[in-house]
């Protein structure tokens, strides 16, 4: 990525957070982690992230409610749902709420980098087209 992407990893499993932090650091991204929905929203308040990698099941507000809040308050941030409990219903709901993508765990390091790059490209494209107006 050209400009370093700011990515927030939200997962209650420490091994997942650490793995994704390491993977994204190696891909030259700035990444931070939160262990639950409350911590994630507090982090967004301090500094809205470009991309949020978000688990669905965790203590406090679940991933869907966090996704909804992020898209309402920081619509320019892209959110990727990464869950160990995938279902068609939650995938549809996530997309309806504005998620960029929806992945089932386990997710390989290459997939993490690929989805983060894709989300960042979408954000940059959206910001570019918002500023330049219709073609």
Reported as type and span, the H/E element at residue 31 is strand 30-34
Three-class secondary structure of residue 95 per DSSP: helix
Largest CA distance in the chain: 45
Please state, in angstroms and rounded to a whole number, the distance separating the CA atoms of residues 85 and 50. Answer: 25
pLDDT > 70? residue 115 = yes
7-30 tens-digit pLDDT: 999 999 999 999 999 999 999 999
Which tokens hold the place of 11? 């997962």
On the 0-12 / 13-18 / 19+ scale of CB atoms within 10 A, 33 is: buried
45-70 tens-digit pLDDT: 999 999 999 999 999 999 999 999 99
Could you tell me whether strands 51-54 and 30-34 are parallel, antiparallel, or unpaired per DSSP bridges?
A: unpaired
Please state, in angstroms and rounded to a whole number, the distance separating the CA atoms of residues 50 and 123. Answer: 7
Q: Spell out the domains of the chain, with CATH numbers in brackets.
A: 6-132 (3.40.50.2300)
pTM, whole model, 2 decimals? 0.91
Please state, in angstroms and rounded to a whole number, the distance separating the CA atoms of residues 85 and 24. Answer: 23
């Amino acid at each position: 990525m050209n400009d370093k992407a700011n990515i927030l990893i939200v997962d209650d499993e420490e091994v997942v957070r650490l793995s994704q932090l390491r993977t994204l650091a190696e891909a030259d991204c700035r990444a931070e982690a939160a262990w639950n929905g409350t911590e994630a929203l507090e982090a967004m308040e301090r500094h809205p992230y470009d991309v949020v990698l978000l688990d669905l099941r965790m203590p406090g507000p679940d991933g869907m409610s966090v996704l909804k809040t992020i898209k309402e308050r920081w619509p320019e941030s892209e959110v990727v749902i990464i869950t160990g409990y995938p279902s068609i219903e939650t995938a549809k709901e996530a997309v309806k709420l504005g998620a960029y993508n929806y992945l089932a765990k386990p997710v390989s390091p290459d997939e993490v980098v690929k989805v983060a790059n894709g989300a960042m490209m979408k954000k940059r494209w959206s910001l570019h087209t918002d500023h330049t107006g219709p073609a």
